[in-house]
Structure 1
Amino acid sequence: MEFKNIYKGAIVPMVSPFKAGYSIDSDAVSVILNSFIENDVKPFVLGTTGEASSLSSSQKTDLINTSVKALGGKQPLLAGIGSNSIFTSIDEGKKFADLGVDVLVATVPNYYPSDGTQMLKWFEKLADAIPLPLFLYNIPATTHHSIPLDIAEKLSHHDNIIGIKDSEQNKERLSESLSRWKDRDDFIFLVGWAAMSAYGIQNGANGIVPSVGNLVPEVYAQLVVECENGNFEMAEKMQEQANTIAALCQKGRNISQSIPAMKVLMSLKGLCTPEVMPPMLRMEHNEELKYKALMRDALDL
């Protein structure tokens, strides 16, 4: 039960901040993580929002080293090890453990079609070989695979698999997941569908993983507090506020467009530059200027 308390609440999939030449912006990492610490929010680096699949090995190392230093043990650090190579994932898991990461997060491989049995064996092999606890990560929007709930259930009993972050936008699946795991003391369910954060916490989820928490960690942190205190009407108002802010960078955009847009919003708050890694592209200069002008009013900056 103690480990469930460690990973409860808001866990934000942190952006990877870059300087103009694509090196990791260590100062921005510290600024972002300080905002997380101040709001009792936990960081998850090298996830989808962190552009992990576009980063080099050295960039990942720099990001983790800087993050560990900036956190100073004040919050646990989650890190993604998603790869199409089981050996790369294992090697990264061992390396990240040596660098000071606390728990690992892994998606299914996404190049070849995988059935449930293949996913089961993949995660078992990975969990057996890495030195840190593992979260499963279900995000079919990018992997084009959905981990079947029966397979996740089998994996939930593995000694080194402690939970699942599920970003699939499927209300029936979400409800069944909550029913299966809300009363488990040994397995954590994290809602990765940010628009359902309040619903998830109210119905037994251990935590939420909202990408827009990079911009407004205080909103999601307060949403969790209101849910935990039984103030569900206020929690729903916080959810509406969060959804409105999320729409500023997500509405009408796919994920490769919404991440650059969110970084522009973060730049307005002095959190990081708008730089993104290829194949993502920063907004065209004139578009970015217009967007900033509109967003200053929208965010009351």
Structure 2
Amino acid sequence: MQELIGTGVALVTPFNAQGVVDHDALTKVVHHQVENGIDYLVVLGTTGESVTLTKQEKQEVIQTIKIANSDRLPMVIGVGGNDTAVVVNELKTSDLSGFTAILSVSPSYNKPSQEGIYQHFKAVSEASPLPVILYNVPGRTASNMSVETVVRLAAFDNVVGIKEAAGDLVQAMKMIQYTPKDFLVISGDDMIANAMTLAGGAGVISVIGQAIAQDFSDMIRYALNGDVGESYELHYKIAASIDMIFEQGNPAGIKSLLNHLGLCSNEVRLPLVKIDDNLNDRLKTFIDQYEN
């Protein structure tokens, strides 16, 4: 899965003032990724507000992204949930043509045991026609995938990697150490993406990279090449914006930044709300100074 080493971005779903999906803005966002060094696109993840899109809207979003991308970058699609049977059925019945892999989040709300998480992903692995990237994000799921569980799941031929977003560098390093050499340990946390990559990780699935695409993807390239000084120089240049975009929730923060770049509006769907004026002003100041 060499095509998934580097910087992937979790695409937003832009909305207009009426709350309708803005397909023209989505096309602009995709072009921005392709033209500024991003390596692959992640479709219908958390950042894409997939949980508040209807089935029809999801299909329309996929179609718009496919047309805008025009096979220029590999694409990964989010297929996950907390009902194993529903996820399995979706994998068996969905048209996944044009996608390189699926990204499947560990079940939220149910809080399964490690054995439950293993059995869930065993079923996902057996049902998926595409390679599977696991997704560990305890801040959203309320349960952490242990290193041992990830190592067990890495034994399945089509479980090719994990998006590791526990924010725990030690845990990430153990995953890198104990999984097979070709298993991709991908950072799901922008702030430690550089450190994880330098430690032997496979890059990042990023949120901030969607806005600061060229420098963030260059940072990861430097890290993959072992160019420590160059990679950290870019990391520290970008770091303040990472804190800011997550300060009042994702994707409200990144949408504000994309709005300042003229790519899409800052509209989100309830229960999410837009960031406040103070944070919005700080993000504008950051990007104005960054670009000059």
Same fold (TM over 0.5): yes
State the alpha-carbon separation in 2 of the partners of residues 248 and 101 from structure 1.
31
Task: Indicate whether 1:225 and 2:221 are aligned.
Answer: yes
1:169 deviates by: 1.0
Output aligned runs, 1:128-139, within 5 Å. Answer: 128-139=126-137
The equivalent position to 2:166 in structure 1, one of 160, 168, 172, is: 168
The equivalent position to 2:185 in structure 1, one of 177, 185, 189, is: 189
Output aligned runs, 1:49-64, within 5 Å. Answer: 49-64=47-62
Task: Indicate whether 1:216 and 2:212 are aligned.
Answer: yes
Q: Could you list the per-position Cα deviations for residues 124-156 of structure 1 after superposition, in whole angstroms to 9, with x for gaps in the alignment?
A: 111111211111000000011111111111110
1:225 deviates by: 2.2
Which residue type is aligned with residue 185 of structure 2? F
1:295 deviates by: 4.8
Q: Which runs of 5+ in 1 are unaligned?
A: none
Task: Indicate whether 1:85 and 2:77 are aligned.
Answer: no
State the alpha-carbon separation in 2 of the partners of residues 211 and 83 from structure 1.
21
Q: Could you list the per-position Cα deviations for residues 236-272 of structure 1 after superposition, in whole angstroms to 9, with x for gaps in the alignment?
A: 111111212223323xx242xx421321111111111
1:109 deviates by: 1.6
State the alpha-carbon separation in 2 of the partners of residues 245 and 19 from structure 1.
24
1:293 deviates by: 5.7
State the alpha-carbon separation in 2 of the partners of residues 230 and 128 from structure 1.
36
State the alpha-carbon separation in 2 of the partners of residues 121 and 293 from structure 1.
45
Which residue type is aligned with residue 38 of structure 1? E
State the alpha-carbon separation in 2 of the partners of residues 289 and 208 from structure 1.
25
Aligned counterpart, 1:46: 44
Q: What is the TM-score normalised by the length of structure 1?
A: 0.89
State the alpha-carbon separation in 2 of the partners of residues 228 and 125 from structure 1.
33
1:99 deviates by: 4.9
The equivalent position to 1:249 in structure 2, one of 239, 242, 245, is: 245
**Larger displacement relative to structure 2 (98-107 or 238-247):** 98-107
**Larger displacement relative to structure 2 (95-104 or 50-59):** 95-104
State the alpha-carbon separation in 2 of the partners of residues 205 and 296 from structure 1.
28
**2:251 match: secondary structure:** helix
| CA contact 1:14–1:46 (8 Å) conserved in 2 | yes
1:205 deviates by: 0.8
The equivalent position to 1:199 in structure 2, one of 192, 195, 207, is: 195
| CA contact 2:136–2:164 (8 Å) conserved in 1 | yes
**1:163 match: secondary structure:** strand
| CA contact 2:52–2:269 (8 Å) conserved in 1 | yes
Output aligned runs, 1:57-72, within 5 Å. Answer: 57-72=55-70
Root mean square deviation of aligned Cα: 2.1
**Larger displacement relative to structure 2 (33-42 or 270-279):** 33-42
State the alpha-carbon separation in 2 of the partners of residues 47 and 24 from structure 1.
15
Aligned counterpart, 2:264: 272
Compared CA separation, residues 32 and 94, structure 1 to 2 (3 A): farther
State the alpha-carbon separation in 2 of the partners of residues 94 and 67 from structure 1.
22
State the alpha-carbon separation in 2 of the partners of residues 56 and 173 from structure 1.
36
| CA contact 2:223–2:231 (8 Å) conserved in 1 | yes
1:290 deviates by: 4.7
Compared CA separation, residues 204 and 65, structure 1 to 2 (3 A): same
Task: Indicate whether 1:10 and 2:7 are aligned.
Answer: yes
Compared CA separation, residues 29 and 205, structure 1 to 2 (3 A): same
Task: Indicate whether 1:236 and 2:246 are aligned.
Answer: no
| CA contact 1:65–1:99 (8 Å) conserved in 2 | no
Q: What is the TM-score normalised by the length of structure 2?
A: 0.91
1:94 deviates by: 4.1
**Larger displacement relative to structure 2 (213-222 or 225-234):** 225-234
Compared CA separation, residues 72 and 240, structure 1 to 2 (3 A): same
**2:220 match: secondary structure:** helix
